[in-house]
Amino acid sequence: MKKNKLNGSENFNNYYSSIYGIRWEVLKESFKLKPDYFEINKGMLAPYYIDKASLFPVKALDIFPGQNVLDMCAAPGGKTLLIALANGESGTITANDRSASRRKRLISVLDASLPLNLRKTVKITGHDASLWGVYEKNIYDRILLDAPCSSERHVYLSEPHLKLWSPSRIKQLASRQFAMLAAALDAVKPLGKIVYSTCAISREENDGIIEKLIKKRENLFKIESIVIDSVFDSEPGLKIEAEKTEFGYYILPDKNNGAGPIFFSVIVKI
């Protein structure tokens, strides 16, 4: 007897239920919560609101004034704002996004929010991030790779996207994510830091990417552990419950009043 083919919603639920077990129903429902937003306003021309969880990949970069920083997939620009505020007017930032429409949004956000002394430190580019290491090697003090990902929260809340969902999309994204991370490792200076982050909740796009990098380039970097208190409890109103994974951290909305999901891992080039 021919089996009925599962639709996208059934595939989606079966896939993530196999990962999260009984937690999946609670986690899935938390996607419906209003994200827990944080207002970035200090030193800004206009405030910008960002999901609280998204602050922590930037905090984990440990940026200090005067550095040369690459934001590989920068749009819509919230994390670039945070980098600019930490890096100061003596630093330089390359904010990259391959999509012309997303770059337009990025420019709009930066122009509206950053004072001139900080805005002039940011250069906008539109390169293929997976090829970055071919052209620039050992250049950057810090690299943020907030990689394009499955964005399951968005998929779950969008019926058209949910209908089309397939596990094959994860494989396609993971291949590109790894290529970008390998390029970042080439582009960062020795002893420089990369933070790899996504808003995905599958291992293939998170710990799986780091695991692959270890297999391919195990002697070129190390994974840095975070002192939880210093990163996650550093400011009033920013307390977050982070979950340690094999190579990084999850911030998931079912445990954080709707903030997230975010995965990030800190990589230091040797």
Position 233 pLDDT exceeds 70:
no
Distance CA 68, CA 264 (A): 21
pLDDT band with cut points at 50, 70 and 90 for residue 17:
very high
pLDDT band with cut points at 50, 70 and 90 for residue 230:
low
Position 238 pLDDT exceeds 50:
yes
Position 91 pLDDT exceeds 60:
yes
- Amino acid residing at 163: K
- Of 179, 199, 214, 196, the residue nearest 143 (C-alpha): 196
Given the residues 199, 200, 240, 242, select the one marked as catalytic. Answer: 199
- Mean pLDDT value across the chain: 94
73 is catalytic: no
Q: With contact defined as beta carbons under 8 Å apart, do 138 and 194 qualify?
A: no
Cα R_g (the chain), whole angstroms: 18
Residues in a beta bridge with 243: 250
| pLDDT tens track for 42-75 | 999 999 999 999 999 999 999 999 999 999 999 9
In this prediction, residue 2 carries a pLDDT of 46
Instruction: Supply the pTM of this predicted model.
Output: 0.95
Distance CA 200, CA 266 (A): 16
In this prediction, residue 1 carries a pLDDT of 40
Cis previous bond, 253, omega within 30: no
Contacts of residue 86, Cβ cutoff 8 Å, sequence gap at least 6: 58, 61, 63, 64, 65
In this prediction, residue 218 carries a pLDDT of 86
| pLDDT tens track for 189-215 | 999 999 999 999 999 999 999 999 999
Neighbour-count burial of 135, counting CB atoms closer than 10 A to its CB (0-12 exposed, 13-18 middle, 19+ buried): exposed
| pLDDT tens track for 139-196 | 999 999 999 999 999 999 999 999 999 999 999 999 999 999 999 999 999 999 999 9
Side-chain half-sphere CA neighbours of 185 within 13 A: 24
In this prediction, residue 4 carries a pLDDT of 54
Exposure class string for 38-57: b at 16+ Cβ within 10 A, else e = bebeeebeeebebbbbbbbb
Higher pLDDT, 54 or 232: 54
DSSP string, the chain: -PPPPP-HHHHHHHHHHHHHTTHHHHHHHHTTSPP-EEEE-TT-SS-EEEEGGGHHHHHHH---TT-EEEETT-TT-HHHHHHHHHH-TTSEEEEE-S-HHHHHHHHHHHHHHS-HHHHTTEEEE---GGGHHHH--S-EEEEEEE-----HHHHHH-HHHHHH--HHHHHHHHHHHHHHHHHHHHHEEEEEEEEEEES---GGGTHHHHHHHHHHHTTSEEEEPP-HHHHHSSSTT-----EE-SSSEEE-GGGTTT---EEEEEEEE-
